[in-house]
A and B are shown apart, each in its own frame.
Chain A
Amino acid sequence: MIDKFMLGIGASVALTLAGLTTAVSAKVEGDTITLGSSISLTGKYATNGLHTQRGYDYAVDVINSSGGVKVGGKTYKLDVKYYDDESTPARGAQLAERLIQQDGIEFMLGPYSSGMTKAIAPVSEKFGVPMVEAEGASRSLFTQGYKYLFAVLSTSEQYLSTAIELAAQASSDPSSVRVAMAFESDPFSMDVRAGVVDAINKYGMKTIIDDQLPADLSDMSTTLTKVKALKPDILIVSGHSKGAATAARQINEMKVNVPMIAMTHCEAAKVQEKFPKAANGFLCPTQWVETLSKSDPMFGTASDWNTGFKKAHPSYSSVPYQSAQASAAVYVFKEAFEAANSFDQDTVRDAISAVEMETFYGDIKFSDAGNNIAKPMFMRQIDSTGNYSLVESAKDMTFPRNVSY
């Protein structure tokens, strides 16, 4: 018994030592390029953190099995070293430092969420480590003058401004459109709101309700009571999945009948399953759709990537876009390494910033600030059977919302 126990300790010590020795020399060694990422595998972002990690891993597998990365006439395999940041920003920043200083990581993939990215970006910036992130959409990430931070996704102020564009297209006189909006007072939703307000001003629409929702949001009946009394033409809600869930539940209960309703996080809150009646006609923004007509030589078309990913992870009935954009971030690194033809951090950084490519995820081209300006946000509408269909212009949209409570 005791012997076994000692053996166990010995083995784990040996393993830890082995881990340490390889860890110190990780980065680019032999024929492996090791990227580093601190990702939320436990805590409140655990679900989406896992989607992200699977997206990274899937891309690594596909790239490695189709020949890897060619730099200086030599072929390298990709690998990712992960740490669990427990969904806490302070831990994320610590782990980023550990990846860079102890593990010698020279290139980083982003964490999950804007908040975590905000905590980690100053660290990677300080050490001049290029980071391509796929899950931090906050506009404020790209106003800090970071040189080493790049994001493949559309920034958050684009999330719902498309809804205003659609409302303008659907109306004969856009300036007569009356808008009601309710946004949570967190950085993400405030960004979304800023984009919506810009679009409203562009068309000269009238804002008749502009409510802020609390962070621990579980009841927005007072806002909806006002909506019922004032009858706006479009209702816009953003408050993560709790906002979408609360809004859908109470729109259903209070029989709110607004011709156009747009909100973020419909899918995460599963509103089409929980409240099929009320959710009929909701407009929901998404970073990516699997029916997108874009493709690349590595992953094929959007639907090829979707099929491949589902095969690797059969537990998904529909694949979250978080995984798709994570794969795109890894792909950007491959292209940048090959274009730079070197592992010098600044050369790779310049190569990333010069990237201009079409991928299964959409076009990628970075602005000077580091955000992707080539890909639009997509808008989908829920139909009466709970399916999401892509809305590219007002004529694809069911307007007014066809709902009978």
Chain B
Amino acid sequence: MLDNIQLLFVWAPVINVQIILEGIFLGAVFALSAYGLALVWGVMNIKNLAQGDFVIMGGYISLALSQYNTSIFVILPLVMLIMFFYGFIVYHSMIKRVIDQDMFTSLLATFGLSLLMQQVMNLIWGPEVQIIDLDFPVYDAFDGFVTIPSIKIISLVLAGILSLAIVLFMKKSRIGQAIRATAQDPRAARVLGIDTDKIYAFTFSLNSAICGAAGVFVSVIWVLQPFYGITYSVRSFAIVTAAGLGNLPAVISAGFGIGLFEKYVGAIIGTAYEVAAPVSMLLIVLVFRQISMKKNRQAVK
């Protein structure tokens, strides 16, 4: 561990650049799937345990599409469209029925959905690890010490454009306003003529499309396996819990923060602890909040 710290800050500080870049790329993907989770959680109070499986499913659809030599710029909107419809179907066949039930029903239902999706993906694409290699060039810097595959830059830019589009959509568009109104007070929204059932369906489908986009980035940057969804679910939950619901800038910065934190934990303590990093971060945030909220807490005498 001491060796690693020395390596990072004394012997070869230039590798920090690589680690920071990797953290940013990772953070961008996390931020996307976490934002989708926050949306569904905030608007419908559904804690979607299948979030990571939606991401992986998006990845597999992009794998299927990439076999026709399509470019990522075609794959991304197609996957989002397909996943939007998938979300719509899942909402109407399942989520709709658990939305008014208590929390455990929705947790159980989405957990079941997660298992189902894993097994179906396993049946279709098999348990072996799959890779999409789009053969984009790789850039060097600092005498080859730092390498940046252009696909990661493209993914980052696309993710940026996408989140900007979502922010604008939520702020400016009529449906975006209706979603926010429903999140604040569904009853009032209904009184004012908003069809909340349609809004719920749209929100869930939008989340599914966002996950699909994250899945495309996962498939071109890392590897796909039917059972990998859980890691993305865990990270999304950590980010949303730390950042709070309905706070998009916080979700995005928490995404990047956790991405960087993971990479530094990996570099200093070891790659095996990378996945543990977001969970420990969550713990720290929760403990910190407990302490900082203490002064506001009052006992009834």
Contacts and interface: CB of A to CB of B under 8 A. Distances in A.
Interface of A: 42-47, 182, 185, 211-214, 216, 218-223, 225-226, 228-230, 241-242, 245-246, 249, 252-255, 268-269, 274-275, 405
B268 to A, nearest CB: 9
A230 B144 CA distance: 13
B49 to A, nearest CB: 16
Contact of A47 (B15, B127, B231): B127
28 contacts: A43-B127, A46-B127, A212-B270, A213-B271, A213-B272, A214-B272, A214-B274, A216-B231, A218-B218, A218-B225, A218-B231, A219-B22, A222-B22, A222-B263, A222-B267, A228-B145, A229-B12, A229-B145, A230-B7, A242-B223, A245-B129, A245-B131, A246-B222, A249-B131, A253-B138, A268-B128, A274-B131, A274-B133
B270 A225 contact: no
A218 B274 contact: no
A46 B123 CA distance: 9
A222 B228 contact: no
Contacts of A212: 270-272
B140 interface: yes
B266 interface: yes
A223 B271 contact: yes
B27 to A, nearest CB: 12
Interface in B98-149: 122-123, 126-129, 131, 133, 138, 140, 144-145, 147, 149
Contacts of B223: 218, 242, 245-246, 249
Contacts of A252: 138
Contacts of B128: 47, 241, 268-269
Interface string B1-29: 00010010001100100110010001000
* Most chain A Cβ neighbours within 10 Å, of B7, B126, B266, B275: B266
B271 A44 contact: no
Nearest to B227: A44
B230 interface: yes
Nearest to A254: B147
Contacts of B145: 228-229
A16 to B, nearest CB: 26
Interface in B217-260: 218, 222-223, 225-228, 230-231
B17 to A, nearest CB: 10
Given A249-B133, A255-B147, A219 B222 contact: yes
Contact of A218 (B4, B12, B228): B228
Nearest to B127: A44
User: Would you list the 9 A-B pairs with minimal beta carbon distance, nearest first?
Assistant: A212-B272, A222-B266, A44-B127, A218-B222, A229-B12, A245-B129, A242-B129, A222-B267, A253-B149
Contacts of A242: 129, 223, 225
Given A43-B122, A211-B270, A249-B133, A225 B18 contact: yes
A3 to B, nearest CB: 35
Contacts of B225: 218, 242
Q: Which of B22, B147, B228: most chain A Cβ within 10 A? A: B147
Contact of A229 (B15, B138, B147): B15
Contact of A222 (B140, B147, B271): B271
B271 A220 contact: yes
A214 B271 contact: yes
Contacts of A275: 133
Given A212-B270, A241-B128, A242-B225, A222 B19 contact: yes
A185 B266 CA distance: 15
Nearest to B140: A255
Interface centre among A43, A219, A223, A274 (most CB of B within 10 A): A219
A230 B7 CA distance: 9
Contact of A221 (B22, B270, B273): B22
B273 to A, nearest CB: 8
Contacts of B126: 46-47
Given A43-B127, A46-B127, A242-B223, A211 B133 contact: no
Nearest to A183: B272
Contacts of A405: 138
A163 B273 CA distance: 27
B138 to A, nearest CB: 6
A288 to B, nearest CB: 20
B147 A44 contact: no
Nearest to A243: B129
Given A225-B267, A253-B147, 15 more contacts: A44-B226, A47-B127, A47-B128, A182-B271, A211-B270, A218-B218, A221-B22, A222-B19, A225-B15, A228-B145, A241-B129, A254-B18, A255-B144, A268-B128, A274-B133
Most buried by A among B123, B144, B145, B274: B274
Contacts of A241: 128-129
Nearest to B266: A222
A327 to B, nearest CB: 23
Nearest to A221: B22
B98 to A, nearest CB: 28
Nearest to A253: B149
Contacts of B138: 252-253, 255, 405
Given A219-B274, A241-B128, A253-B149, A44 B222 contact: no
A219 B232 CA distance: 13
A348 B12 CA distance: 62
Contacts of B263: 221-222
Contact of B272 (A45, A47, A185, A254): A185
A216 B147 contact: no
A252 to B, nearest CB: 8
B275 A226 contact: no
A274 B131 CA distance: 8
B77 to A, nearest CB: 25
Contacts of A43: 122, 127
A277 to B, nearest CB: 10
B128 to A, nearest CB: 6
